Amino acid sequence: MIRIQIPLVLVTKIKFIMRIINFSFFKILNAHIVDYPTPSNINYIWSFGSLAGLFLFLQIIVGILLVIFYTPQSLLAFSSTEYIIRDVNNGWLLRYLHSNIASFFFIFVYIHILRGLYFKSYFNPRKILWYTGLIIFILIIATAFIGYVLPWGQISFWGATVITNLFSAIPIFGKNIAQWLWGGYAIDNATLNRFLVCIIFYFCNNRSCWVAFTSCIIHYRIIFRYLFWL
């Protein structure tokens, strides 16, 4: 019988790797990604909700890197966007990653919604789940619109003009709401600054952040309740 002696250094490294694997954080990742318990009656179409969440996380990371070089000033915003693409190292990659991740994110969200419509998830006992999802969807659309305005090109400027003017059609308070969004009597530097603040803090200047957070908690809690009977 041949005995193989493993060097002590290698044994130490193996023990160190095993300790890392057994660390609680990695246990959580393994429990939620690899060995996640799921019912046998679902298929891959149920994955698009989590894929949308993953792409949203990537979008936030890339957006933070972009905003480092962005200038929220009406005369310099478009120039700063060009500067990111042309002069920042790999800035073009970050810019187009941000744009394409947003597109894929909405594709996944629409597939997720269509799956809910196909399986009639809007009926009892999942009405609250559907309503919280709609709230999240409205906030996603608002955030995407604000991000579309930030480059401050011609399409961004006139897109902001058209969409914000829609609020002026609301009776009595419409003009006041539009002027509050503009930060004045027309779309200008104050509007751009307000939009940047909104997209960075995800509407932290009002209660929508708490509405979104509460909706997400209720949304995923109901999912777990009906999938795993918690």
| Average pLDDT over every residue of 214-224 | 57
Q: How confident is the model over 171-186, as pLDDT tens digits?
A: 888 889 899 889 888 8
| Average pLDDT over every residue of 6-23 | 64
| CA-wise closest residue to 22 among 30, 11, 32 | 30
Q: Rg for the chain (alpha carbons), in Å?
A: 24
Contact criterion met (CB below 8 Å) for 95 and 151:
no
Residue 188 predicted with pLDDT over 60: yes
CA distance 142 to 196: 12
Question: pLDDT confidence of 211, banded at 50, 70, 90?
Answer: low
Burial 70-80 (b: 16+ CB within 10 A, else e): bbbebeebbeb
Residue 36 predicted with pLDDT over 80: no
Q: How confident is the model over 43-90, as pLDDT tens digits?
A: 888 889 888 888 988 998 999 899 999 998 888 999 999 999 999 999
Superfamily of domain 47-228: Cytochrome Bc1 Complex; Chain C (1.20.810.10)
Residue 95 predicted with pLDDT over 90: yes
Please report the pLDDT score of residue 229 as a whole number: 46
Q: Which of 14-23, 101-110, 221-230 has the highest mean pLDDT?
A: 101-110
Residue 210 predicted with pLDDT over 60: no
Please report the pLDDT score of residue 206 as a whole number: 40
| Average pLDDT over every residue of 20-48 | 72
Residue 40 predicted with pLDDT over 70: yes
Residue 222 predicted with pLDDT over 60: no
Please report the pLDDT score of residue 200 as a whole number: 75
Question: pLDDT confidence of 127, banded at 50, 70, 90?
Answer: confident
Q: Which of 4-8, 99-103, 120-124 has the highest mean pLDDT?
A: 99-103
Lowest mean pLDDT among 1-5, 78-82, 142-146: 1-5
| Average pLDDT over every residue of 158-176 | 90
| Average pLDDT over every residue of 102-112 | 93
| H helices, E strands: number in the chain | 10, 0
Measure Cα distances from 61 to 133, 166, 182 in Å. Answer: 23, 32, 28
